[in-house]
């Protein structure tokens, strides 16, 4: 039985994917307070974290900003946090950490989940591959989310990559501009 959140997430991913593939995705970049964005996404997932008894922490310096499109980057954060919850067993932990690195902010979503196999690591960002695995409570996804996250991150002038060890956890890392680098570099 799918929850309302799962159905909404699937529809949101399908819509985002369709807009992105058709070239109708509008990217309107602005300065975004990273703490505000992270707190908003945390609030949306608080119930699922509590349900699975997963501890959550944030380590983001005050006044850290990213220069991105609010709608697409919020979708990226929601997808990655949702996956971390899905693949972290009851009693595990998830943290979101950031650091500034040469005009960019590197944001790490780190979990103590089941990890990603080497075989699936090779396929995770390959849009020609379809990976659907079950979460620790048999939650299932569409397989669209991570490809959408990569696409949205690239369209925002950033990058997305993953590090994982089976049975130890996964870290998804985003690198996004701290400010409008186009203006700064002129």
- For residue 153, the tally of other CB atoms under 10 A from its CB is 22
Note the pTM of the prediction, 2 decimals: 0.84
Q: How confident is the model at residue 29 (pLDDT cuts 50, 70, 90)?
A: very high
Residue 40 has pLDDT above 90, yes or no: yes
Contact (Cβ atoms closer than 8 angstroms) between residue 29 and residue 180: yes
How does strand 93-101 pair with strand 55-59? parallel
Q: List the single range of 38-42, 79-83, 121-125 with lowest mean pLDDT.
A: 121-125
Q: What are phi and psi of 167, to 5 degrees?
A: 75, 0
Those residues whose C-beta lies under 8 Å from the C-beta of residue 169, and which sit 6 or more positions away, are 88, 92, 110, 111, 112, 113, 115
pLDDT average, residue stretch 33-54: 94
Mean pLDDT of the chain: 85
Q: List the single range of 25-34, 87-96, 116-125 with lowest mean pLDDT.
A: 116-125
22: exposed, middle or buried (Cβ count in 10 Å: 0-12, 13-18, 19+): exposed
Query: Model confidence over 112-147: pLDDT tens digits?
Result: 999 998 888 888 887 776 666 767 776 665 556 788
What is the rounded distance in angstroms from the CA atom of residue 108 to the CA atom of residue 89? 19
Q: List the single range of 70-74, 141-145, 153-157 with lowest mean pLDDT.
A: 141-145
Question: Residue 107's beta-bridge partner residues?
Answer: 98, 174
Residue 184 has pLDDT above 70, yes or no: no
Q: How confident is the model at residue 53 (pLDDT cuts 50, 70, 90)?
A: very high
- For residue 179, the tally of other CB atoms under 10 A from its CB is 14
Determine the pLDDT at residue 57: 98
């Amino acid at each position: 039985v799918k929850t309302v959140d799962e159905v909404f997430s699937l529809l949101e991913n399908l819509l985002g994917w369709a807009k992105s593939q058709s070239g109708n995705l509008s990217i309107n970049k602005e300065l975004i307070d990273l703490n505000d964005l992270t707190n908003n996404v945390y609030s949306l997932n608080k119930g699922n974290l509590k349900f699975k008894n997963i501890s959550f922490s944030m380590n983001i310096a005050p006044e850290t900003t990213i220069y991105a499109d609010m709608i697409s980057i919020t979708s990226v954060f929601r997808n990655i946090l949702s996956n971390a919850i899905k693949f972290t067993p009851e009693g595990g932990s998830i943290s979101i950490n950031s650091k500034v690195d040469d005009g960019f902010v590197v944001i790490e979503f780190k979990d103590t989940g089941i990890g990603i196999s080497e075989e699936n690591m090779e396929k995770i960002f390959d849009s020609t591959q379809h990976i659907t695995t079950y979460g620790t409570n048999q939650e299932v996804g569409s397989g669209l989310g991570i490809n959408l996250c990569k696409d949205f991150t690239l369209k925002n002038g950033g990058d997305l990559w993953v590090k994982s060890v089976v049975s130890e956890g996964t870290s998804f890392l985003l690198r996004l501009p701290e400010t409008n680098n186009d203006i700064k570099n002129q």
